[in-house]
């Protein structure tokens, strides 16, 4: 039996960019055949659009919802902030992938408590539901971000707390494995800089960039899903899985997308809560971070969860986007490969389930 055979998989925030690609990959059955995939989110319009796309309907009619609970993909309206909603959706789950999040840095900076409610209380609701109702869930995966590493903004702080909540839950709920994945900017996801650059270029510019020196890790959505699958297959309780991924200067991303168009660049300065370089592993975490092939695994600091890896060498320094910057040509090649340049066929939300 493989990883997902006969499993009920709940994806919180499942109508987002990651949730859609994750659902598509689960349907490919590359790691087994799930019994049920439950998409849990609070946006009925996005759920309806995803349901129609999954059923290959040419028109969006109300009838598609009536056999919702009999299908392989089941859609549940609910909010990760609401404990009773979380209890209900987790009742029969085997694997939970928590992709529900507030992730816009400026929004979280102006409304930090909203970030707490979704990113912190939401995680605690999952843990509390499992503990108080003695749910037989095998694994919970918390989807985190590079901004949780040495956080300087409300979004990163809330995600760092989510990581700690899930890690600590392994001590009090040992029958469930709680693990995390942490990665950088996902190419062309909602909220990434690439859709913004597309719109600015289509309208003749200017393209807005914070500062010339700014770098970011760049990760295709498929690689984000690969990281989740790798963690599900190999992570020990409390570990954080991190993909080995390239980074680029944001100005090189913009120039690659502009190509030879006569469009100006406007430098706007660093926004509140932003870093010049993002970090996936801090210097404090490096001494307990180990190589797992295409990934790094950060071991938990709690002594109850520490398992030594004899013979493995820990990292000697932090893992920063400033240290792994691609050349301009490499950045162009990456964007071309993933069809993210204007004139190429865009990956719109509706294509992920086809």
Which carries the bigger pLDDT value, residue 341 or residue 159?
Answer: 159
**Which has the minimum average pLDDT: 18-22, 263-267, 341-345?**
341-345
Residue 192 pLDDT level (bands cut at 50, 70, 90)? confident
Residues 6+ apart with CB under 8 A from 311: none
144 vs 133: CA distance, rounded Å: 26
Average model confidence (pLDDT) across the chain: 90
Q: Which of 144, 128, 224, 143 is nearest to 176 (CA)?
A: 128
What pLDDT, on a 0 to 100 scale, did the predictor assign at position 124?
A: 98
CATH number of 8-184+220-244+279-319: 3.40.50.720
What pLDDT, on a 0 to 100 scale, did the predictor assign at position 55?
A: 78
23 vs 25: CA distance, rounded Å: 5
What pLDDT, on a 0 to 100 scale, did the predictor assign at position 272?
A: 78
Give residue-wise pLDDT tens across range 48-75.
999 988 877 544 444 455 566 567 999 9
What pLDDT, on a 0 to 100 scale, did the predictor assign at position 57?
A: 55
Give residue-wise pLDDT tens across range 194-218.
888 989 999 999 999 999 999 999 9
Residues 6+ apart with CB under 8 A from 5: 32, 33, 34
96 vs 166: CA distance, rounded Å: 12
Give residue-wise pLDDT tens across range 118-149.
999 999 999 999 999 999 999 999 999 999 99
What pLDDT, on a 0 to 100 scale, did the predictor assign at position 347?
A: 46
Report, as residue numbers or ranges, the catalytic residues. Answer: 147
User: Tokens for 97?
Assistant: 């992938």
What pLDDT, on a 0 to 100 scale, did the predictor assign at position 354?
A: 26
Give residue-wise pLDDT tens across range 280-304.
999 999 999 999 999 999 999 999 9
Maximum Cα–Cα distance across the chain: 61
**Phi, psi values for residue 219, rounded to 5°:** -135, 120
């Amino acid at each position: 039996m493989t990883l997902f055979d006969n499993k009920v998989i709940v994806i919180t925030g499942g109508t987002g960019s990651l949730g859609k690609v994750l659902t598509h990959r689960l349907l490919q059955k590359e790691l087994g055949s799930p019994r049920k995939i439950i998409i849990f989110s609070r946006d009925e319009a996005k759920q309806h659009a995803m349901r129609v796309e999954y059923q290959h309907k040419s028109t969006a009619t109300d009838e598609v919802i009536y056999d919702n609970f009999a299908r392989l993909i089941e859609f549940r309206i609910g909010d990760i902030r609401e404990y009773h909603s979380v209890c209900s959706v987790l009742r029969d789950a085997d694997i939970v992938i928590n992709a529900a999040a507030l992730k816009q840095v400026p929004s979280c900076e102006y409304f930090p408590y909203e970030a707490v409610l979704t990113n912190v209380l939401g995680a605690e609701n999952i843990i509390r539901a499992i503990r108080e109702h003695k749910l037989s869930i095998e694994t919970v995966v918390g989807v985190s971000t590079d901004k949780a590493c040495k956080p300087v903004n409300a979004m990163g702080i809330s995600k760092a707390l989510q990581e700690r909540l899930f890690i600590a839950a392994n001590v009090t709920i040992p029958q469930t494995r709680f693990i995390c994945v942490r990665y950088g900017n996902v190419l062309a996801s909602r909220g990434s800089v690439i859709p913004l650059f597309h719109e600015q270029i289509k309208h003749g510019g200017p393209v807005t960039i914070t500062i010339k020196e700014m770098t970011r890790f760049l990760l295709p959505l498929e690689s984000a899903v690969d990281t989740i699958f790798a963690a599900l297959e190999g992570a020990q309780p409390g570990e954080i899985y991190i993909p080995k991924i390239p980074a680029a200067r944001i100005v090189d991303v913009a120039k690659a997308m502009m190509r030879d168009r006569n469009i100006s660049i406007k430098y706007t300065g660093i926004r509140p809560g932003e870093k010049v370089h993002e970090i996936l592993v801090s210097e404090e975490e490096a001494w307990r971070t180990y190589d797992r092939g295409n990934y790094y695994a950060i071991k938990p600091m709690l002594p109850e969860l520490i398992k030594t890896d004899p013979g493995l060498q820990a990292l000697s320094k932090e893992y920063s986007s400033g240290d792994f910057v691609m050349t301009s040509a490499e950045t162009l090649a990456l964007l071309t490969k993933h069809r993210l340049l204007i004139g190429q066929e865009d990956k719109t939300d509706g294509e992920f389930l086809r």
